[in-house]
Structure formats: structure tokens, C-alpha cells
């Protein structure tokens, strides 16, 4: 009986752990425009500290514009400010630098997938800052 209770408890923890990994705190973005906010704490040649308010960012099924916004003053996107590490098979198209602090991609999200991407910013002093977060198409 004791083993059975232990097995049930362990199964519950495994299921709870899987559910918490798959479901982001705010849920998947299901609006036409999904925003990812970037904050810079430091920009050093060997170890920039940039964070995204969602990493990974979960995007709901269907067509969305994904906007990346820099929240920290003194930083801008480079011309190729957001790039994907591997080909996305057409899931992400039409990249544009809309302003110095806003970049966007169109996300078709016709099928689930995980996409690692690169963020490249330049500081007012000319230093290049890099970060590598993830988008998950749910």
C-alpha cells in the first residue's frame, strides 16, 4: 500500500512538472500582434546581459506579427537585429526593422515548432550585444 501511494505521488509530480513546463505563465499569445520586450542590463564583448520578458515566448496557432521591442534606453537593433539560427521552413517571413528599437517578423504558425533566434543590439557607445532566446509555436 505504501509503495502504491509513493507511485501515485511520484506520477502526480511528473505530470505537474510536465504541465508547468508546457504552459507559460501568461499563456500563449493569441492576438494579431505578439510583443516580446527586451531589457539590457549590460553590454560587454564577452557576456552581454539581455533578457526577454518571455523566454521561451509561446505563440498560439494561426497567423501573427511578432514585435520585438527594446525597453532599455541607449540601445538599438542592428540592421539584422533578429535572425533565426536555422531555417524556419517558411514559418517566419517578412522581417523588418520598423524603428531603431522595434523589429518584427510575420509568424505563419501553421504547425507547432521550436525556433531559436538571435538578438543583436548596438549600444550608444557602439558596442554589440547578443542574446539567444526561443519562440515556441504551440
Residue 41 has pLDDT above 60, yes or no: yes
Give yes or no for a contact between 126 and 119, defined as CB atoms under 8 angstroms apart: no
Whose grid coordinates read 542574446?
131
Report H helices in the chain: 2-22
- pTM assigned to the model: 0.80
The kind and range of the H/E element at 133 are: none
Nine cell digits for residue 75: 540601445
Q: Are 47 and 18 in contact (CB under 8 A)?
A: no
Which pLDDT tens digit goes with each residue over 99-112?
999 999 999 998 89
CATH 3.30.450.20 fits domain 28-137: no
Amino acid at each position: 500500500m505504501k509503495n502504491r501511494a509513493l507511485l501515485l505521488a511520484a506520477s502526480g509530480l511528473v505530470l505537474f512538472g510536465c504541465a508547468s513546463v508546457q504552459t507559460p505563465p501568461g499563456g500563449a499569445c493569441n492576438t494579431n500582434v505578439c510583443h516580446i520586450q527586451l531589457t539590457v542590463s549590460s553590454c560587454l564583448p564577452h557576456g552581454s546581459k539581455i533578457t526577454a520578458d518571455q523566454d521561451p515566448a509561446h505563440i498560439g496557432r494561426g497567423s501573427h506579427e511578432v514585435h520585438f521591442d527594446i525597453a532599455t534606453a541607449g540601445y538599438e537593433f542592428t540592421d539584422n537585429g533578429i535572425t533565426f539560427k536555422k531555417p524556419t521552413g517558411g514559418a517566419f517571413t517578412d522581417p523588418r526593422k520598423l524603428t531603431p528599437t522595434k523589429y518584427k517578423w510575420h509568424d505563419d504558425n501553421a504547425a507547432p515548432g521550436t525556433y531559436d533566434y538571435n538578438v543583436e543590439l548596438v549600444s550608444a557607445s557602439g558596442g554589440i550585444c547578443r542574446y539567444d532566446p526561443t519562440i515556441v509555436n504551440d
